[in-house]
Structures are given as C-alpha cells and as structure tokens.
Amino acid sequence: MRLSLRATLLAALFLFCLSPIIARADLPPMPETAHPIDSGATAWMLTSTALVLLMVPGLAMFYGGLVRTKNVLGTMMHSFGAMAVVGVLWVVIGYAMSFGPNALGGWCGWSPGLIGLRSLDNPSAVIQPGGMSIPEYVFAMFQGKFAIITPALIAGAFAERVRFRGYCVFIALWSLLIYNPLCHWVWAGDGFIQNMGAAGAIDFAGGTVVHISAGVSALVAAMYLGSRRGYPETAMHPNNLVMTMMGAGLLWVGWFGFNAGSSVASNFDTARALTVTQVAAASGALSWMLIEGVQHQKATSLGLCSGILAGLVAITPAAGVVTPLGAIALGFIASVVCYYTVLMKNHLGYDDSLDVFGIHGIAGILGAILLTFFIRQPWMSDAIAKAHAKGLGDWNIWRQLRVQLMAVGIAIVYAAGGSIILLVLVQKLVGLRMEPSRESAGMDHSLHGEAGYGLLNLN
C-alpha cells in the first residue's frame, strides 16, 4: 500500500511538470524576422556551454576519487544523474521559472512561451547583452548547465549514504523550488535581488545562486541525514586521488566557461573575467600549499585541489568587478578560511563527507561579501551614475556591502529552510538515507549491482 501511494505521488509530480505542455494553449504567431547574429559572441557562448558541461564529469571524477572503492560508481552517478533529471526539467519548466517575467509576486518567473523552450524556436528569439545578438537557445542551454551542476554539488555532503531514487527526487524538487527562484531573483532583469540598491547585488557567475545555495543546502542535508556508519572513528580514505586531481583539472578548465561565459559576450569583459578566474585559482592553490607546508612540512594533492576550488568559488561572484590583484587577494583569503573551516568540521561533529559547505559554501559567502572591497574604479563610476539616476544619492562601498550582505542572507535562509522541508518530504515519501546493511555493502553493489573497478574487495 505504501509503495502504491509513493508511486502515485511520484507520477503526480511528473504529470504536474509536464501538464503545461500536455494542456497548453497555442502560442500566438511570432515574427520570423531574423536579427543579425554576432558570430564571435555566439561561438564563444557555444564554447562556454560545452566548458560548463565538462565540469559535470569533472565533478564526478573529483567526488568519485574521494570516496571508498565500494561507493565510487554510486557517487559518480549523482553527477551524471543530475545531467539527466535537471537536464529535462530545465527545458520543460526550469528556464521559464528562472528567466520568465515576474510571477507569483516575483517568487519566480513565468512565460507560457518558454515552457519547453517553444518560443525560442524562431530566428527572432535572440538576446542582446552589450549590443551583441546571440540566439536565446544558446543562452538557455548555457544557463541549463548551471542548473545541472548546482544540485550535483550538494551530493558531496551526503556521499556514501543516500539512496539513488531518493536523491533523484530530491534534486528534482530542489531544482524546481530552490534553484529556479534564486536564479530568477538574482539574474532575471526583474528579479528583486538584481534590483537591490543602486547597482543591484553583484553575482557575476553564481556565488549566490550556485555556491552559497548548494553549500548551505549541503550542510543542512549532512546534519539531517547524520554521519556515515563508523564516522569519525573508522578511517575512510579516498580510493583514487589521481582521479580526484584529474577532476580538479577539468573543473579548472571548465570554470573559464563558467565565469568568462557569464559575460554573455565576447569582449573586454570576457577577457577580464577569464584572467581573474585563472589568477584566483592559482592564488588559492598556492595559499593552501603554503599552509600545509608550514603546518605539516608537506603539501598534499588533496590540499592543492581544495585550494584550487576555494579560489575558483571565491572569484565566481566577483569576476566582473575586480582586478587581477583583487583576485589574488580573494583566492588567498578564501583558501585560508576554507582550510580552517574544514578542520573545524571534526570538532563540530557533522559529516560533510566531501567538504561541500567548507569550500563551496564558505568561499561563496566570502567572495560575495569581500568583493565589495576590491571593486575596480570604472565599475564604481558606473554605480555612482546609476545611483544619481535613480535618485538614491551617492553610491559607496558601504551601501554596496549592505546589499551584498542582504543578498547572501536571503540565499542562506531560503536555501536552508527550503532544503530541510524537501529533505523531510523525500525521506517520508521515497526514502533518502540508506539502510545500514546497504550502506555497509556499498552503493555500487547494493544500489546499482556493479563494482567500479571490478574488484572483489569493496572496502
């Protein structure tokens, strides 16, 4: 009876997502007049879309190498599963909720024409950031990769102890109810966080939308689900740090599309975003190596990879406003703070398996707030002009800092509150935490009937 009820509820959820297409009204005819397409900007955005997609298998390798052998495939399945689940939801309804005009009092966006991307199948469907026309299809697919990787990040916090079915239901609901509204608030033209203060909250490529939301939700999930069996008494060594380093390298490469692609152009802004991304990653890696060298007289591969990520996450919201020297500072600060946050995890007693909150959450918060103190002068001049045009008086960094703090606070509260509700719901509906026997046997064998390396010893 319980299984029948669960199946019915899941079917109802699926039909709810598809109902706008099943019972849609015909769209009004759209003009077929084609706008001139900027081939350079379009080519770069196509490349950026591919680079961000590359980050998903990179994340799978990064996470997969950090877990025990018996869980490597199950952990990598979390990233690839997000490509399947969110990849469909984004086209069906996610893009409409994220980038459609305000609906439900501004909680999300909505436009019937964007359901299933129907209105984009027209030569006139272009966007023109900075005067450069690119097909809106390309922008929708670029943003779709952000929607995919964000819930996949969360999986690192509860690695080695969740059921795949429950995970898929959770990320589907999280994508619809947490990610899409946040994306609309921060990046849509009429989103309220986008329009805070004189210049809006600064989030160039996803410090708030991606890393803070994923990091905070990861912490909530880790605390709600509890620790892995045997943690922290039992040593749980990574199975393949070589694969983790390869994954970190793919993430670094993909991040150029993540940040530089967020200029949605091919111009000087793109070049600056790419440059500060490289600098911040290098700064974060160097800082972590120096800390380990001083404290332990040796630098570890895992520490190097962690520093790379800390620097990349911190620069993500700031890539459009800081100089290379500011990027070095952000990478250094994020690396130091993340290092000590990861150490504190053992003292605080929560099992964030792969340090999602310790790196993505903390570095995202730091980057979104501290960027205020490294804003380049031309951006300040533009902000002052906007403040005068809106009748808001003089813009200054302290007012911008207040806006950044408000945006970060909203993202933390919304992601945390929404996640705990979804976790309880999914646990009751289909189950999320694995049974002790299955957890002991490992995800690969008990959930997928496979072994990652074809080995008999699954520990």
Residue 10 — very low, low, confident or very high, per pLDDT cuts 50/70/90?
low
The CA dihedral of 210, 212, 214, 219, to the nearest 10 degrees, is 170
Q: Are 254 and 51 in contact (CB under 8 A)?
A: yes
* pLDDT of amino acid 73: 96
pLDDT in tens, 154-173: 999 999 999 999 999 999 99
Report domain 43-232+239-434's class: mainly alpha
- CA atoms within 13 A of residue 249's CA, in its CB half-sphere: 7
Q: Are 243 and 54 in contact (CB under 8 A)?
A: no
pLDDT in tens, 324-348: 999 999 999 999 999 999 999 888 8
Q: Average pLDDT of 89-109?
A: 97
* pLDDT of amino acid 9: 55
Q: Are 318 and 333 in contact (CB under 8 A)?
A: no
The CA dihedral of 206, 208, 211, 217, to the nearest 10 degrees, is -140
CA distance 185 to 406: 13
Work out the widest C-alpha separation in the chain, in whole angstroms. 70
The pLDDT of residue 357 is above 80: yes
pLDDT in tens, 117-153: 999 998 889 988 767 899 999 999 999 999 999 999 9
- CA atoms within 13 A of residue 156's CA, in its CB half-sphere: 26
Reading the block at residue 20, the tokens are 């706008």
pTM of the model: 0.92
pLDDT in tens, 374-429: 999 998 988 888 888 877 777 889 999 999 999 999 999 999 999 999 999 999 99
**Beta strand pairing status for 126-127 and 134-135?**
antiparallel
The pLDDT of residue 21 is above 80: no
pLDDT in tens, 268-314: 999 999 999 999 999 999 999 999 999 999 999 999 999 999 999 99
Reading the block at residue 51, the tokens are 């680079």
Q: Is 103 left (phi over 0), alpha (psi -120 to 50) or beta?
A: beta
Reading the block at residue 54, the tokens are 């590359």
CA distance 122 to 51: 26
Q: Average pLDDT of 424-435?
A: 97
Q: Average pLDDT of 98-121?
A: 96
pLDDT in tens, 238-279: 999 999 999 999 999 999 999 999 999 999 999 999 999 999
CA distance 272 to 262: 11
* pLDDT of amino acid 34: 59
The pLDDT of residue 2 is above 90: no
